[in-house]
Amino acid sequence: MAIPAASDIIRLSGVTSAFAPGGAAAGPTIYKLTLAHSNATITPTTIASTIADVDWVHTMVAGKIYSFDIFGLYQTIGLGTGARLNLLGAGGLAGRVAGYMRGSIAQATGATNLEAVIYSFANAAGSFILTTAVNPINAPHMMIGSFIFECTTAGTLAIQFASEVAASAAQMNAGSFMTVTLLN
């Protein structure tokens, strides 16, 4: 199959994009968690320690639309401890967000997970998934998210992680990643 000429245009869902001369346009920005991140003292209502500490922060440009996909593996130290994955905007960020997050809670006999609709990015209802527990402990469980962000005022968007229970350790494991794709 030949590479289309620079003048060739692709039309997808009303969005027009052209191939760059000599090949396709650049791919998505990929953020990969390279070190395990642990915190044993965070409650679900006060998230002071974030994945943003290890580069899960994206600078948003006004007038642009972004697609975010998150794949995280987390584990906790106790059967009664879950984890929280949250969106938080900073620097005056404004816009619309729509999507979902999921978090697994059991893998012993059958896959079980929770799902939350994402419509906010303010560390409030609609901006996070909160899992209630895990089974088994100290074993990887999944947290995923997929959402679109239409930015109206520039700022930064951070993906945060915390333990569900104060004084009960939880960590996002190394190898977890987030991809950000600029849609326009």
The CATH code of the domain that includes 101 is 2.60.120
Q: Tell whether 10 is covered by a domain.
A: no
Q: What's the token pair of residue 109?
A: 């006999």
CB 129 within 8 A of CB 143: yes
Length of the chain: 184
Q: Tell whether 19 is covered by a domain.
A: no
What pTM does this model have?
Answer: 0.77
The domain tally of the chain equals 1
Q: For residue range 53-81, what is the model confidence (pLDDT) as tens digits?
A: 546 889 999 999 999 999 988 888 888 88
| Other C-beta atoms lying within 10 Å of the C-beta of residue 2 | 4
Q: For residue range 6-56, what is the model confidence (pLDDT) as tens digits?
A: 444 333 333 333 333 444 556 778 777 665 555 545 555 555 555 545 468
Residues 28-64 as b/e (b if ≥16 CB within 10 A, e otherwise) read eeebebeeebebeebebeebebbbbebebbbebeeee
